[in-house]
Structure 1
Amino acid sequence: MNRIEFMKQLERLLWDIPEQECRDAIDFYNAYFDDAGPENEAQVISELGSPGKVAAIIKADLKGSAQTETYGEYTETGYQDHRFSGGTQVPDRTNVIREREESGRRRNRGYQGRQTRSGGNLALVIVILVFTSPVWLGLAGGILGIVFGLVFGILGVVLGIGAGSLGLLAGGGAVIVSGILKIASNPAVGLASSGAGFLMVAIGIMLLVAFLWVVAKLLPMSLRAVVGLCQRIFHRGRGGDKR
């Protein structure tokens, strides 16, 4: 007979006692088995005897009559019923509770020890970070400098193209107007000036188209590339890049 069979049979035999008393008794013996451990299950069953004996002792204890006092008594090791030759003993609940409290204190001491070790590890990490801060702060500053340099460099080129295109358009327009005004007095100079103005306008238009293309296509791609580079750098530093 194992523990499960023992407890099921004991519960069936206690059907005629109050439900709360039955539940208390079942909980008590389950706790007794838990405290003894699975390796001592057979020994506990041997000490308790059959479920019928245990049920009889529980019922006699609940009756609290003179008959109970005749049949059994509490000893230093538990309840002793003289009707059974096996000397079945009911474990003392006080001892069981005391053992549970001691087990809880042992678990708490182990948990506190783990907390102490965790606190020591955290302090060690902080000390290492403080002493190595010049290295990793310099490295982080260098990386940020490269990133900002790339970003502002790209923005500078884009803005330069835009400003150049606007300047050529404005300057070319002014030269064209000036050339047209000079055609009457000096046709050669007027035509040359007008041609130069048209050339400047053409170059300005080309630069404006390039500027719009950079803003619409190349600039987002460049920014995404810079962001991706930063992510790879920082993820590799944290062990996130597994490639």
Structure 2
Amino acid sequence: MNTYALITGASKGIGRALALQLAKKGYPVLLVARSKDELQALATEIITIYQVQARWLAIDLSDSHASEKVVNWCTDNSYAVSVLINNAGYGLWGSFENVDIEGQLNVIGLNINALIKLTHGFIPLLKQQPKAYILNVGSTAAYQAVPTLAVYSATKAFVLSFTRALRYELKGSVISVSCLSPGPTDTGFAHRAGLDAFADLAAKFNMQPEEVAAIGLKGLFNKKAEIVPGLLNKLSVTGARLLPKALIEKIGGDLYKSK
């Protein structure tokens, strides 16, 4: 293939799995994340195993000018992009009033602002291709308010709503837009969010990133609007849609309450 797939948050977890699986499909990849060493190691692995090009850019996407730098990196190097995967994101656990406000704003900056800026910057480039795809990685938390993960769940609700609206706006164009909403997945998310106390509970429900990535890519290339991997996650989303919101919020609040 002559066009690249760009993946943010590519150094670990679902992003890493997406990059490897896209490379296996023959896509040269553009890897974006904060960790230079992890990106370099992944690029070397992809080149060695799949013999496709792998370029990387170490950058903190929560920085206000980072998204523009990523777009410029692609245009300056003539990287033709046909797949954009907005995977980078994280959350912080705890009562909203007790969690550092700068940290909460940083969550918004990465989960929303960076995604919006990257998507806006890449749409003109994606439209230059015969077929193009955008995959925004949300969460099952997008379907309900989650006490103690209030800002995180709100950002993912934004991602889901934005994806559906953008999908409609781009209907009839060469770009298909999808939202992947995983549930608990065996990544570094829980540790960064401060959820280590719930590790044993999460282990009972975790999916593996490789499985989530495979389902996500299948849904993306089949042009599905919403992709929810795993039977339990589908049931959770259905319950969030059908059951009273107060009940769903109580379940979520009890599940993640301080131990």
Q: TM exceeds 0.5?
A: no
The structure with more strand, counted as a fraction of residues: 2
Using structure 2 for the length normalisation, give the TM-score.
0.20
Using structure 1 for the length normalisation, give the TM-score.
0.21
The structure with more helix, counted as a fraction of residues: 1
The higher relative CO (CA closer than 8 Å, separation ≥ 6) is in 2
